[in-house]
Structure 1
Amino acid sequence: MKRSIYLLPAAVVILIIAFSAIFVVDEREKALVLQFGRVVSVKEDPGLAFKLPLVQEVVFYDDRILSRDIDPLEVTPSDDRRLVVDAFARFRIVDVRQFRQAVGPGGITAAEQRLDLILRSELREVLGSVSSNDILSEDRAALMLRIATGARAEASALGIQIIDVRLKRTDLPPQNLDATFARMRAEREREAADEIARGEEAAQRIRALADRTVIELTSDAGREAEIARGEADARRNNIFAEAFSGDPEFFEFYRSLTAYSRALQSNNSTLVLSPDSEFFDYLKSDGGSGATPQVPADDAIALPEAEEGSSEVEAEPSRTLVPLESAPSDDQPAQDDAPVLEGASIGN
């Protein structure tokens, strides 16, 4: 009975010791077996592994690709134009034994701090040897490759492999942004002024060409109009000449009626003429006695209308003639032996 009481605790202790001697290596990790702080073995294959209980301890390290963001760094390129660079790196622990010896018990935290120093140094060295335009151009990929290549040599001493280095952002310092934006605005305003000047110059050329075209077209149209007007006047004169030669008496009668139509208007003017004036040849009696003819007031003589385009005011279709011996008006004094024709206007 007493033996069974002692066997149970012993079995428990044995089980505890047995379980403490067994550990599992995950496929995403690497294990480092330490004995009193000294590296005894490295377990990289996933599965079960064994160690001495109470004497040895196991430290696990991540076997995946890790990333590290670098704090924004201010660099000065070769053109003395300061830039603020924000970068990050991807790395992996490839030699856990060397990694343990290099960083000690600090582990991944200490490794990241030392990696920051390496990357910041490489960033300053590489970006300081080129201009800011190169950093902001397509050559940026080549610069990142140079930074990664330079950092690999130093990071290998830590048992770390640098996979890649990338520049996330490249900005100007806040104190330089206002000056840079002002310079950019000035450049854009200058380009806009150049474009406006070129546009105004082109507009002046087009406007001058249009004015010249208008003058040429107007001149040609005026010349053609004058030619057409001259030809029309010539044809009209020929027609009048033929009509006059065909019947001179009727032609003179027609001209007299036209003169009556133009002279005898409805305005309140007075026409003063001599009784034996040729203007009244067709208004005199046939007896030739020289007496002033009387025209009935109720008889209307239809006078022909004035020619189209004449500067005279067009005559009304018909007009009533009054006796020529009518007394002069109060506003117009009578002249010696001159009849006054009331209601008539002086032609232009």
Structure 2
Amino acid sequence: MNRLVIFGVVVVAALYALLSSIYIVDERQRALVLQFGQIKDIRDEPGIGFKIPFFQNVAYYDDRILSLDTDPLEVTPLDDRRLEVDAFARWRIADVRQFREATGSDGDFASTVGGQRLERIVNAAVREVLGGVTSDAILSADRVALMAAIRDEAIAESAGLGVEVVDVRIKRADLPEQNLEATFERMQAERQREAEDERARGREARLRVESTADREAVGILSEAQRESEIIRGEADAERNRIFAEAFGQDPEFFAFYRSLNAYALALRGDNATMVITPDSEFFSYFDGVGEFTTTDAPVQPVTMPDEDAGTGEEPAATDQ
């Protein structure tokens, strides 16, 4: 009976030792076989491995690309406009042995320890690269080149950690909250100044157009007045010619016509009272005489005025 118990104990111990000597590496992991803290083996490929039970243990490290979100930090570019920058990085453990020697992590907190070390490196790279350019470059399309420079700087600084920095990106680059209001006011004042400049240029253009139009209008009116005077003079000359011909054809009728025009001018409106001598020749056609001397030269015709318009002129003198 005692032999059976001893045999069972031996079998159980053997099974436990056998199971303790086996470890499995997942395809997402890398493993280090440690003996009293010293690295005895590195397992880079997934599968089953063996170790010495009770004397050796296995530390597992994540072989995937890991994400690192850095805390926001303030950066002062060349133009002294402080910016609050929020970045993140993508990284992976490239050399497990070097990573353990650099960080002292046994695998359980490898990602945390490595991320903390890498965060300090990335923040230093962000400050160094962004501190050498202006804020306009950070906020423009040049940010892509700046992120590449930060990544290269982080790769160079993290080479001793045994990690590979895959990428570094800037998620946000904004002004600090206390500076936003002052910045908005400055931008508003600048836009108002530009608007005033545009309005001033518009007023200048308007005045230039108006002065040009006025000058052209004066020229057009002057030319029109000159042409109208020429036409009026030609018309007057033609009218005088016609009247001269009419006077030559019938001087008696022309004298009669002139007397009627004189009557119309003298006896219109309120001017109906006249003081003249009884033997005046002005109303000679009313007493039946009607004889006039026709040897005089033709005179300018008297135009019949509009009945509604008052001239206030004295009646025209006649040659009668």
- Asked if TM exceeds 0.5, the reply is yes
The answer for the alignment partner of 2:215 in structure 1 is 212
Q: Distance in 1 between matches of 2:5 and 2:279?
A: 179
2:152 is aligned, of 149, 152, 158, to 149
Q: Compare 11-20 and 59-68 and name the one that shifted more.
A: 11-20
Write the mapping of 1:26-175 to structure 2, written as runs, cut at 5 A.
26-53=26-53, 55-103=55-103, 104-105=105-106, 106-137=109-140, 139-175=142-178
1:257 is aligned, of 245, 260, 263, to 260
Q: Compare 7-16 and 156-165 and name the one that shifted more.
A: 7-16
CA gap 1:285/1:32 in 2 versus in 1, 3 angstroms: same
On the 8 A contact 1:312/1:347 being kept in 2, the answer is no
**Higher gyration radius (CA):** 1
Q: Kindly provide the CA deviation profile for residues 16-68 of structure 1, in whole angstroms up to 9, marking residues without a partner as x.
A: 65555444333222223334444332221123333345554333322122221
- The Cα shift of 1:11 comes to 6.7
The answer for the alignment partner of 2:274 in structure 1 is 272
Q: Kindly provide the CA deviation profile for residues 253-290 of structure 1, in whole angstroms up to 9, marking residues without a partner as x.
A: 2222333344444x4653224343333222224699xx
Q: Distance in 2 between matches of 1:167 and 1:180?
A: 22
CA gap 1:22/1:238 in 2 versus in 1, 3 angstroms: same
1:313 is aligned, of 299, 307, 313, to 307
State the identity %.
Answer: 54
Q: Which amino acid aligns with 1:94?
A: A
CA gap 1:74/1:161 in 2 versus in 1, 3 angstroms: same
How high is the TM-score relative to the length of structure 2? Answer: 0.78
User: Structure 2: which 5+ residue stretches go unaligned?
Assistant: 292-301
SS at structure 1 position matched to 2:222: helix
The answer for the alignment partner of 1:236 in structure 2 is 239
Q: Distance in 1 between matches of 2:223 and 2:73?
A: 77
Q: Distance in 2 between matches of 1:243 and 1:15?
A: 155
SS at structure 2 position matched to 1:177: helix
- The Cα shift of 1:229 comes to 0.6
CA gap 1:50/1:246 in 2 versus in 1, 3 angstroms: same
On the 8 A contact 2:35/2:56 being kept in 1, the answer is yes
Q: Distance in 2 between matches of 1:81 and 1:285?
A: 113
User: Structure 1: which 5+ residue stretches go unaligned?
Assistant: 289-305, 316-345
Q: How many residues align?
A: 299
1:180 is aligned, of 170, 180, 183, to 183
